[in-house]
Structure 1
Amino acid sequence: MVKCINFTASRDWCLSRSFGSAGLKSTTTTLHDGDTSIHCWIPKTYKPNKPNLILVHGIGANAKWQWDPIISRVTPLYNVYVPDLLFYGDSYTTRMDRTEQFQAECVMRALERVGLTGKFNLVGLSYGGFVGYSMAVQFPEVVERMVIIGSGVTLDSDIDVEEGLFSANNIKDAANILLAQTPEKTRELLKISFYKPLNPKLAPSCLIKDFIEVSLIIYSSYI
């Protein structure tokens, strides 16, 4: 059987070009005596007259995949910083801490290292909302405004999982769908994730498997 082209790698390359065209550049910052590395897209040219904006992505893909649809619209208005959270893109740590508090601290220290000063606005998407919320708690003096999108920061695991959008007895059952490992589970996730989703059958299984393979590397590192 002929294997499909590596769509994930090709798409990732295109997104890097898109971010570069929007006026951002790739940078990597080392923290904790070399134990931690945070990759972040930062402005090629910092404009002191513009406000600062941090975009924090969620679970499922690195920052480029989730923020590309709006990146060219916000860069003319803000000094935009787009970090990859730990275990996404080129961000990683050898430390065992897996909390959003640790993620928040690492993002903040990396932003300081690349020269960000003063207050900033922050948008957190899904899991990025948890990290952004933690950043606001830990560093209230610099987080001026915050927008949280699709993030259950007030989630009640006993009630919201059992009475949510899909049937699940516990967090583990929910993870089987939210962290889909087969094309079938991925299509199920697409159906419940969008109000008017495209027909998931239009996505060939080989392309879905290619994306899952990349995602599993992320998930296994995070767990």
Structure 2
Amino acid sequence: MAKCFSFAATCDRWFRFSFSRAGLKPTTTDLGDGTVMHCWVPKAYEPNKPNLLLLHGLGANAMWQWNEFISPFVARFNVYVPDLLFFGNSYTARPERTELFQAQCVAGVLEAQGVWKTNVVGISYGGFVAYSLAAQFPEMVEKLVLCCAGVCMEEKDMEDGEDRGRGLEFSVTADAREDEGDVQGCLSQASEENAHLHCAGLYQFDYQVMWKEHLQERTGLVYALYKDRKMSDLPTITQPALIIWGEYDKVFPLELGHRLKRHLDEDGRLVVIKDCGHAINKEKPKEMYKHIEAFLIDPLLTPKKENQTSGEKVD
């Protein structure tokens, strides 16, 4: 146990140093009603740079999922990286567990920082929050990148098919896990090439932090994602959107990516990364960054200006 926390503490210190060296500083915003959000923000805001909001998925905290991307993103953007509620140092005493409430809290943090327009990248669970942010605050979101985020999922998808929704089910039943072996089974669902995840220390850390800390609240977040969820209730958005998906995603199958592309029509562009599972930020970070940077920086790559028929590009 001591080794587990020593490993976690060492990684945490390194990530904090990495974020700070890249030009970010930690802030805390009290949104009232017992809601506090922690967020990494620029030490020095640069008006000539566009803004970028990074939203993490179901993991330990924002630093663990975005560390590999911070330096290159900071070079091009004013970057904001919040811990979503019940991750890192963000929490609430309120009962809401929906991505709508998460998005409202993120918007509150941005407003407190004087950010009224930003590009948004959300991975997995963070993609749900990013989509909700774009729908609720359309004037705030300029461009949207959704990485393996099954926002087009319906509750019935949890029961249809052998693989559909299986990875999400593992998250929902996190409270049933009693040892690191169960966590390994869950994490292997996220990665097609598991070399990045096959680390005993990382498994132990995930077991102690991802699955034990705020377990009841995080389970509530996952249940809220699919409970009574229907495509007919999914709001439409008009911002240019890039959809990035792993070819062999077992948490949110690629079918959901195609479904989202159809839902967004000409406002969306789908990129499928070959030989990759759900954890694209760990398996193929360079490819993921390349597509995000090109989409956010190059105005010619907005979906409406592309001459594509299928909306899919396999890299």
TM-score range, shorter chain: 0.7 to 0.9
Name whichever of 90-99 and 6-15 sits farther off. 6-15
In structure 2, the residue matched to 1:85 is: 84
| C-alpha spacing 1:134/1:124, structure 2 compared with 1 (3 Å) | same
Where in structure 2 are there 5+ consecutive unaligned residues? 221-315
Secondary structure of 1:130 counterpart: helix
Secondary structure of 1:76 counterpart: helix
Distance 2:152 2:176 in 1: 21
Name whichever of 144-153 and 176-185 sits farther off. 176-185
Per-residue CA deviations over 1:99-158 (Å, capped at 9, x if unaligned) read 1111000010111112223x2100011000110110001100111100000110001232
Distance 2:171 2:205 in 1: 22
In structure 2, the residue matched to 1:139 is: 137
**Structure 1 position 209, deviation (Å):** 3.0
8 Å CA contact retained: 1:29, 1:38: yes
| C-alpha spacing 1:150/1:164, structure 2 compared with 1 (3 Å) | farther
AA of the residue aligned to 1:203: C
Secondary structure of 1:103 counterpart: helix
Match of residue 153, structure 1, among 151, 154, 176: 151
**Structure 1 position 16, deviation (Å):** 0.6
8 Å CA contact retained: 1:105, 1:135: yes
Higher relative contact order (CA 8 A, sep 6+): 1
AA of the residue aligned to 1:153: V
Aligned length: 217
Query: Does residue 187 in structure 1 map to residue 200 in structure 2?
Result: no
Query: Does residue 114 in structure 1 map to residue 117 in structure 2?
Result: no
* 1:42-53 alignment runs, 5 A limit: 42-53=41-52
Secondary structure of 1:82 counterpart: strand
In structure 1, the residue matched to 2:244 is: none
| C-alpha spacing 1:162/1:12, structure 2 compared with 1 (3 Å) | farther
TM-score w.r.t. length of structure 1:
0.87
8 Å CA contact retained: 1:166, 1:192: no
8 Å CA contact retained: 2:157, 2:164: no
8 Å CA contact retained: 1:104, 1:132: yes
8 Å CA contact retained: 1:157, 1:171: no
TM-score w.r.t. length of structure 2:
0.63
Distance 2:8 2:130 in 1: 27
Name whichever of 82-91 and 6-15 sits farther off. 6-15
Query: Does residue 25 in structure 1 map to residue 20 in structure 2?
Result: no
Where in structure 1 are there 5+ consecutive unaligned residues? none
8 Å CA contact retained: 2:39, 2:82: yes
8 Å CA contact retained: 1:62, 1:89: yes
In structure 1, the residue matched to 2:71 is: 72
8 Å CA contact retained: 1:178, 1:189: no
Q: Could you tell me the percent identity over the aligned residues? A: 41
Distance 2:156 2:67 in 1: 35
In structure 2, the residue matched to 1:125 is: 123
